[in-house]
Amino acid sequence: MSRIELRVNGRNVEVEADGRTLLTHALRDHLRLTGTHIGCDTSQCGSCTVHVDGKAVKSCTILAVQAAGCDILTIEGLASGRELHPMQAAFNDFHGLQCGFCTPGMIMMAIDIVNRHGRPDEATVRAELEGNLCRCTGYHNIIKAVCAGAERMGEMA
Amino acid sequence: MYDLGYSRPATLAKALELLQQDDLAQLVSGGQTLMPVLRARLAAPSQLVDIARLDDLRQICTIGAGIEIGAGMTHAEVAASPVVRAHLPALAALAGGIGDAQIRHRGTIGGSIANNDPAACYPSAVLALGARVQTNLRMLDAEAFFAGMFATALEPGEIVTAVHFPACAVACYLKFRNPASRFALVGVFAARLASDEHRIAIIGGGNGVFRWHEAERHLDRGAGVDGLDTVPLDLANFTGDIHGSADYRRHVAKVITRRALTQMA
């Protein structure tokens, strides 16, 4: 067991965990931040997407120790109090989910897309969401939500 | 995953020392291949030596007419690099098409070529462009570096530190993605070098990256893309699996080569 220092959603935290502990398990099991989901365990589905130093990564494909000293942002870190992040609000307004399992990863990826592309067109959103699987929606409303969320984030900036 | 130790040495020298002391230690950089392998318990290293943040491996610069890319540069960084986009736009495009956006934020060029997955994209560019691989010990030509599926000339305790790409006239990388996994079923890096010679390097065949010499000679003679259909491509370079037979892969390789050359023209 080792003591791993992480900075999660702006807070410095310590977890006591094996070296092999994946970031996603440190978040979910040690810090009880269960908004980050595990959908596949094969690095394909993107449900576990979080930001590490401002970049979207799959938290099932990085050890917690590898992220030590980095700034980690999870779905729980987006809203301010009861006010949703504009991308969360857009997913709500545009019905960008059905079962909701993939949604935390979709939203974290969507924000990463906006951070890099500003207001992306539909083709860019579709290409950039390659690493996030949704088995319910058929993606149409997710794409609409990401485009609308991008616009709202732009207005706020 | 089996339990393992972890260290993040501050220097390359310290990383080498750790590797020398422990035969079962494993380097990790982005870990986008290694983590799935470890999770599936297909490997059991005693410890991971993390070199992802070493400054020595994290630069992109021009060297003469060519460019040098540090082994620790991520696919996203290579794809977005103004230097790569200006000098080797086909390489930037290749990097921008590896895996998905999350993978590209972690995976590195050094890790990709050291692993030499037969379906990985980077080895095709390294081989086609006649790049040279810099390690802590020596400089290796691409031809000498790749040694078949998952095999390279790297010795135990040897670390890829950078890849040197010479300038080329024009190039294009295309891949045919497996519709489910999105991995390259076949990928082709076509290039006309600064010397005007043509190079065709193919990945996805199953036995590791290789050059299609017959096609290169065909093009060097000034013959056209259409004539490629009749140029022999050895079936021994291809293996079959549930995703496609060897014959099918060879057919796709010919089609993709033609498309890449057409886009290049």
Over the stretch B64-74, which tens digit does the pLDDT of each residue have?
999 999 999 99
CATH of B57-165, one of 1.10.3720.10, 3.40.50.970, 3.30.590.10, 3.30.465.10: 3.30.465.10
pLDDT band at B265 (very low <50, low <70, confident <90, very high): confident
pLDDT at B78: 98
CA dihedral B45, B50, B52, B58 (to 10 degrees): -110
Domain B5-49: which topology? 3.30.43
B5-49 against B168-264: fold identical: no
- What b/e string do you get for B107-140 counting C-beta neighbours within 10 Å, with b at 16 or more? bbbbbbbbbbbbbbbbbbbbbbbbbbbbbeeeeb
CATH of the domain at A30: 3.10.20.30
Q: Which of B32, B76, B181 sits opposite A61 (nearest CB)?
A: B32
pLDDT at B28: 97
Q: Is the pLDDT of residue B37 over 80?
A: yes
Residues A122 and A59 in one domain: no
Whether B3 sits inside 8 A of A20 (CB atoms) is yes
CATH number of the structural domain B168-264? 3.30.390.50
Count the residues in chain B.
265
Look at residue A138 and tell me if it is in a domain.
Answer: yes
Query: What residues of B are in contact with residue A22 (Cβ under 8 Å)?
Result: 1, 35, 39
Whether B36 sits inside 8 A of A61 (CB atoms) is yes
Please give the DSSP secondary-structure letter assigned to residue A26: I
Whether B50 sits inside 8 A of A19 (CB atoms) is no
Contact at 8 Å (CB) between B184 and B121?
A: yes
pLDDT band at B144 (very low <50, low <70, confident <90, very high): very high
Query: How much is the mean pLDDT over chain A?
Result: 96
pLDDT at B260: 98
User: In the predicted model, what is the mean pLDDT of residues B198-219?
Assistant: 97
Residues A65 and A44 in one domain: yes
Q: Is the pLDDT of residue A157 over 80?
A: no
Instruction: Please give the structure tokens belonging to residue A77.
Output: 């870190």
Determine the Cα–Cα distance for residues B178 and B166; give it in Å rounded to an integer.
31
Inform me whether the C-beta atom of residue A48 falls under 8 Å from chain B C-beta atoms: no
Residues A38 and A13 in one domain: yes
Residues A97 and A152 in one domain: yes
Q: Where is average pLDDT lowest: A28-37, B120-129, B221-230?
A: B221-230
Please give the DSSP secondary-structure letter assigned to residue B146: B
Count the residues in chain A.
157
Contact at 8 Å (CB) between A118 and A48?
A: no
Query: What residues of A are in contact with residue B52 (Cβ under 8 Å)?
Result: 66
Query: What residues of A are in contact with residue B2 (Cβ under 8 Å)?
Result: 20
Look at residue A81 and tell me if it is in a domain.
Answer: no
User: In the predicted model, what is the mean pLDDT of residues A89-118?
Assistant: 97
pLDDT band at A156 (very low <50, low <70, confident <90, very high): confident
pLDDT band at A16 (very low <50, low <70, confident <90, very high): very high
Whether B4 sits inside 8 A of A56 (CB atoms) is no
Q: Which of B52, B101, B182 sits opposite A112 (nearest CB)?
A: B101
pLDDT at B169: 95
Inform me whether the C-beta atom of residue A25 falls under 8 Å from chain B C-beta atoms: no
User: In the predicted model, what is the mean pLDDT of residues A129-155?
Assistant: 96
Contacts of B48 (CB under 8 A, 6+ apart): A19, A63, B4, B5, B6, B7, B25, B26, B27, B28, B34
pLDDT at B181: 80
Report which of residues B29 and A2 the model is more confident about.
B29
Contacts of A140 (CB under 8 A, 6+ apart): none
Return left, alpha or beta for B80; rule: phi > 0 is left, psi -120 to 50 is alpha, else beta. Answer: alpha
Report which of residues A41 and B9 the model is more confident about.
B9
Final residue before a domain boundary, out of A76, A104, A138: A76
pLDDT at B88: 98
User: In the predicted model, what is the mean pLDDT of residues B205-224?
Assistant: 96
- Per domain, the residue ranges of chain B are 5-49, 57-165, 168-264
pLDDT band at A1 (very low <50, low <70, confident <90, very high): confident
Residues A102 and A134 in one domain: yes
Closest Cα partner for B110 from B128, B133, B140, B143?
B133
CATH of the domain at A126: 1.10.150.120
Final residue before a domain boundary, out of A50, A76, A102: A76
Domain extent, residue A96, equals: 86-156
Q: Which amino acid is at A93?
A: D
Query: What residues of A are in contact with residue B35 (Cβ under 8 Å)?
Result: 22, 43, 60-63
Q: Taking CA atoms, what residue in A is nearest to B30?
A: A62
pLDDT at B122: 98
Q: Is the pLDDT of residue A41 over 90?
A: no
Q: Which of A55, A60, A66 sits opposite B105 (nearest CB)?
A: A55
Determine the Cα–Cα distance for residues A68 and A79; give it in Å rounded to an integer.
24
Determine the Cα–Cα distance for residues A100 and B111; give it in Å rounded to an integer.
35
Contacts of A28 (CB under 8 A, 6+ apart): A34, A36, A38
Whether B100 sits inside 8 A of A131 (CB atoms) is yes
Residues A72 and A91 in one domain: no
Final residue before a domain boundary, out of A13, A44, A76: A76
Instruction: Please give the structure tokens belonging to residue A70.
Output: 């980095």
DSSP H or E segment with residue A58: strand A55-58
